[in-house]
Structure formats: C-alpha cells, structure tokens
Amino acid sequence: MAMLIARNQPGELKHYIEVALDSGVTPAEVSEIITHLAFYSGWPNAMSAVRVTKAIFAARGITTEALPAASPTLLPLNEQVEKQRAETVEKNVGPISPGLVKFTADPLFLDLWQRPVLTPRDRSLVTVSALIAAGQSAQIGYHLNRAMDNGLSAEEAGEVVAQAAFYAGWPNAFTAAPVVGEVLRSRESKAE
C-alpha cells in the first residue's frame, strides 16, 4: 500500500487495500497509513488514496467509528531522540527554511509520529517503503536507522528493497540497495 500511495497509483491500490483488510489490517491502520503518507508522499497522493479507500470502506460498511480520532491521545515522546532529531534538522535546514524546521517538528514528529494506531516500527516501515518507492535515497538512511531502532530487522529491510522492485521498479530498488546496505553494515560494525 505504502509504495502504491507514494507513487500515486490508485488503479492498483484498490486491490491491495482489499487484500490488506482481508489479511487483518484494520480500517484504522489503513486510514493512518494514508494520513502518514500525506506528509511523506504529498497531499495529492494521499487524497487520491482517500478516494479509493472511501469507496472500499463504503462497500464494506466501514464507518468513521472504525477510524482513528483526528486528535488522539499521543504516544509518549522519546525526548532524547527528539532532541537529536531537532538539533540535526535545525543545523541542516534552519538557515535555509525556518518554516520547514517548524513544520518538521509540529505536526510531523511531535504529532504524526506519536499517533497510536500504528506502532513506531510499522510507521517506520511505511515511511521507508514510501521513500524507496519515490526514489528518495537521501532520506532512506535516517529513516531506516529509525526503523531499525523501532524494531525493524535487517532481513525485513532487505525484503522491503526486494518488494520495491515489483511495486516501484528495479531502478528504485537498485538505488535504495546501496543505502540500505550501508546502514546495515554501519549498524553491524557498531554492534561488534
């Protein structure tokens, strides 16, 4: 789903949302993936996914009661991780775009990433999948490290790259592979 939303492919998305729901992904999780990807893939892609999902939910009798609240009680914030992230963003982006720094903190990391419907691991998996599908290799390293800190395994990271070949094309998978490999090697050497 994440790769198709990131690439704005609503024609194929219907089938995969149906499969996800039939496989135990909840309507709330589907909704939250779309909300998350509005920030990582852009509002137009998310709105395209909303149109597809709305029809599926209507056909299945899924109502808004099954969906996450607009302003849920957020998960606790890891202050140390957030401090490091904020300092890095301020250093790298602050002199160029103070507005982007502000919007990266809130609503992105102080709200969206703290929403409870998706686990931090699953939210990270969605993010990494979307970044690979969109060919955003410069962003993969940070988010893959975060995903692995949140519980994604090296094997799962490799499988995301393999699946990307089919949903986003071999060039995007091969563009991501060296970045993923570098993250995995770096983490392995730190663990030794």
Q: What is the mean pLDDT of each run of 10 residues along the chain (192 residues)?
A: 98 98 99 98 98 99 97 95 95 96 94 97 98 97 97 98 98 98 96 83
33's tokens: 């993936």
**Mean pLDDT score of the chain:** 97
pTM: 0.95
pLDDT at 191: 86
Residue 32 lies in a domain: yes
Number of domains in the chain: 1
Residue 102 lies in a domain: no
Residue 10 lies in a domain: yes
Residue 62 lies in a domain: yes
* Residue type present at position 82: E
Residue 120 lies in a domain: no
Query: What residue numbers bound the domain in which 7 lies?
Result: 1-67
pLDDT at 175: 98
> Cα–Cα distance between 117 and 165 in angstroms, integer?
28
Instruction: Using CB atoms within 10 Å of the CB of residue 32, give its burial: 0 to 12 exposed, 13 to 18 middle, 19+ buried.
Output: buried
Q: What is the dihedral of CA 145, 29, 107, 127, to 10 degrees?
A: 30
Residue 12 lies in a domain: yes
Residue 24 lies in a domain: yes
Residue 111 lies in a domain: no
Contact criterion met (CB below 8 Å) for 32 and 115: yes
pLDDT in tens, 63-110: 999 999 999 999 999 999 999 999 999 999 999 999 999 999 999 999
pLDDT at 64: 96
Contact criterion met (CB below 8 Å) for 70 and 81: no
Contact criterion met (CB below 8 Å) for 40 and 8: no
